[in-house]
A and B are shown apart, each in its own frame.
Chain A
C-alpha cells in the first residue's frame, strides 16, 4: 500500500497492511542529505530535497515540511535567531508594549520573511511526491504566534489583564495563518496546525476556550472549506482540553507523550483520529531500537483500536540528532504488529 492509500483506508475503516506511522521529522531531514539546519531553513531547494530524501529514506506516511514554529511570526516582525546548525529560536518578539499592537500587520506569505521560501519548498515536495504520500506544512496556531509577537510572558499576563489586546493579536495571527494556509493549499499542500501555547501546561481550559478555540475553529473551518482535512497538534498536557480540540473541527488530534493516549481514545476517540505518542526525546532520541519498539507497542495497545483510527506517531517533532536507527525501528515495529493492530504480549513489560 502507498502512504496515501493507508491514510485513506484508515479514514474509511478498511483493512490495511499496517497502521500509518509518522515519526515527525523536522530538522532531522537536514541530516539525511548532510546539510546544516540553517541551510534548509533558508533554501527552498534544500528544504524540499531534505524532506523528500527523508521520506524516501524512512518510508513514513505523512510528510511535514517544518523547521521551527517562528516562520509566520518572523514574517510579522518577530526577530528569530538562526544558529548555524541548530533549531532556530525566538530572539525578540515583534513588539514590546501595548501601544505597538496597532502597528502590527498580517504577513503576506508571498513576500514576507521566509514564508515564500517555505512555500516554494512545500510546493516542490508536493509536486514530487504527488499521488504517493500526503504532504503537509506546519501552520503555527494564532495563540502561539501571538505569543511570539509580544513575548510569551507578556501574553500570559495580558490573558488576565488585557484580554482585548490578546484578541487583537490573535486576530492578526489568525489572518496570517489563513493566508498561509491558502497559499499552501493552492500549492497542493495540506496545512497542519501546531498550537503549543494552548497546552494546559501553560493556560487553563477556560483560557483555551476564550483565546484559543474561536480562532482555531475559524482556521479549521477555512481549511475544511477548501476540502482539506486538518491535524491539530498541542504539546504538553492536553487531557482537559481534548473535547475543545475536537470542537475546533480538527479531523485528527496529535497527542503529546505528556498525555495519556488510552484516555484520549476514551474521551475523543469516537470524534477524531488520534496521532501519537512515542516520546521523542526519552525514547526516540535517547533510547535504542528495543525501547522504540516497546513504546510503539504501548501506543498500539492503548489506542490501536481507537474508533476513528490511530496514526502511530511521535508525541512531538523529533530532535534533530535522533538516530536514524530509531526512526527505522519505529516503522519496523508498526510493520511487525501489522493488521489488525493488536498487541497482546508484553505482559512482562
Chain B
C-alpha cells in the first residue's frame, strides 16, 4: 500500500498518504501539488477525500478500527488545511447539504459522533458540530438558525434515548419537519427505535450514516423537483 512510483498520479499519492495514516507526508504532498500549479479542488476530491473514503471502506471491512480512522482523518484535515485556502471563491458547490450533529444531553461519548462528522465532511456535507451533552432545544435552535437539512443525534446511553424523541417533538411543534430530517445512531439505538420515535433514519456506523444522509438528501431533491 505504501509503495509509490513516480508514474503514480499526485492524487493517488495523496490518497495513499491518507490511507497510510501519514499526516506529515500528506501535508508535504499537498504543498508540492500546489507548487506544481495543480487544481486544489481536484487534489481534495481525488486525493484526500478518496483516501478517507478508502479508510472508511477498510473500517467497514474491519481491517481498520477507530484508532486508524482517527489518524487517517488527521492526515486528511492536515492536507485540507494546506489546500483549502487556495480554492477559488464559491468552490463550496460540492456541498451536499448541512447536517447539525451532536451527542444528546446526558451523554458525552462522542467518538462515534466524531467519526460520523469526519465521514460526512469527507462526503461533502457541511457539518455543524454541537459537541456532546447537547439539550434537545439547542439542536432545534441551531438547525433552524443554520437552515440545516439534517439533524444527526448520537448516544451510547439508554438513559438519553428519550432526548432523541424530544428533539423530534420540538421539530414537529415548530412544523420544521419534514423539511429537516432527523437521523439517529449509537450503541443502544436501533432501526426499530428510530421507527418508533418517528426519526427519518437510523445508521449503525459512520459509513452507513453517510449513505443515509445522501439518500435523504436525494429523496428531498426528488420531492422538490416532482
**Which A residues are within 8 Å of any B CB, using their own CB?**
81, 83, 86-87, 89-91, 152-153, 156-157, 159-161, 200, 202-204, 207, 235-237, 240, 280-282, 285-286, 319-320
From A86, A160, A202, A235, B159 is in contact (CB under 8 Å) with A86
Most buried by A among B21, B106, B111: B111
Return the contact of B108 from the options A90, A207, A280, A319 (Cβ within 8 A): A90
Q: What sequence of 0s and 1s flags, for each residue 150-193 of chain B, a beta carbon within 8 Å of any chain A beta carbon?
A: 00000001111000000000000000000000000001101011
Q: Which 4 A-B pairs have the closest CB atoms?
A: A319-B158, A86-B159, A281-B188, A204-B65
Number of A-B contacts (CB under 8 A): 76
Asked whether, in the complex, the Cβ of A89 is within 8 Å of the Cβ of B111, the reply is no
A80→B133 CA distance, assembly (Å): 13
For this complex, 21 residue pairs linking A to B, each with C-beta atoms less than 8 Å apart, are A81-B108, A86-B106, A87-B159, A89-B107, A89-B108, A89-B109, A153-B114, A157-B70, A157-B74, A159-B67, A160-B68, A200-B65, A203-B65, A204-B65, A235-B187, A236-B187, A281-B190, A282-B190, A285-B158, A319-B188, A320-B159
* Residues A83 and B106 in contact, CB atoms below 8 Å apart: yes
Q: Are B71 and A161 in contact (CB under 8 A)?
A: yes
List of B residues within 8 angstroms of A204 by Cβ: 64-65, 67-68
- CB-nearest residue of chain A to B65: A204
A10 to B65, CA, bound (A): 37
Q: Which of chain B's residues has its CB closest to A211's CB?
A: B67
- Size bracket, chain B contacts: 20 to 34
B64 shortest CB reach to chain A, Å: 8
Given known A87-B159, A200-B65, A286-B192, contact A156–B108 (CB-CB < 8 A): no
Chain A binding site: helix, strand, loop or mixed by DSSP?
mixed
A159 to B64: give the CA distance in the assembly, Å: 13
Residues of B within 8 A of A83 (CB): 106, 159
Given the interface contacts A202-B65, A281-B188, does A156 sit within 8 Å of B70 by beta carbon?
yes
Q: How far is the CB of B19 from chain A (nearest CB, A)?
A: 14
Chain A CB within 8 A of B34 CB: no
20 new A-B pairs (CB below 8 Å) besides A152-B111, A320-B158, A320-B159?
A81-B133, A89-B107, A89-B108, A89-B109, A90-B108, A91-B108, A157-B70, A157-B71, A159-B67, A160-B68, A160-B71, A161-B71, A202-B65, A204-B64, A204-B67, A237-B62, A281-B193, A282-B193, A286-B193, A319-B158
Say whether B110 faces chain A, with CB atoms less than 8 Å apart. Answer: yes
A153 touches B158 (CB 8 A): no
For the complex, what is the distance from the CA of A196 to the CA of B70, rounded to whole Å? 19
User: Which residues of A sit under 8 angstroms from B92, Cβ to Cβ?
Assistant: none
Asked whether B138 is an interface residue with its Cβ less than 8 Å from the other chain, the reply is no
Which one of A153, A200, A240, A280 contacts B110 once the chains associate, using CB atoms below 8 Å?
Answer: A153
Residues of A within 8 A of B87 (CB): none
Q: With A83-B106, A319-B188 as given contacts, are A157 and B67 in contact (CB-CB < 8 Å)?
A: yes
A86 CA to B157 CA in the complex, in Å?
Answer: 10
- B:36-69 near A, CB below 8 Å: 62, 64-68
Residues of A within 8 A of B67 (CB): 156-157, 159-160, 203-204, 207
Looking at the assembled complex, report how far the CB atom of A99 sits from the nearest CB atom of chain B, in whole angstroms: 20
Q: Which residue in chain A gives the minimum CB-CB distance to B106?
A: A86
Contacts of B188 in A (CB 8 A): 280-281, 319
Residues of A within 8 A of B157 (CB): 87, 89
Query: Which residues from chain B contact A81 at a C-beta distance below 8 Å?
Result: 108, 133
Q: What residues of chain B lie closer than 8 Å to A159, measured between beta carbons? A: 67
Checking A91, A207, A282 against B65 with a beta-carbon cut-off of 8 angstroms, the contacting residue is: A207
Cα separation A15 to B67 with both chains bound (whole Å)? 46
Q: In the complex, how many angstroms separate the beta carbon of B68 from the nearest chain A beta carbon?
A: 7
Contact B21 A160 (CB under 8 A): yes
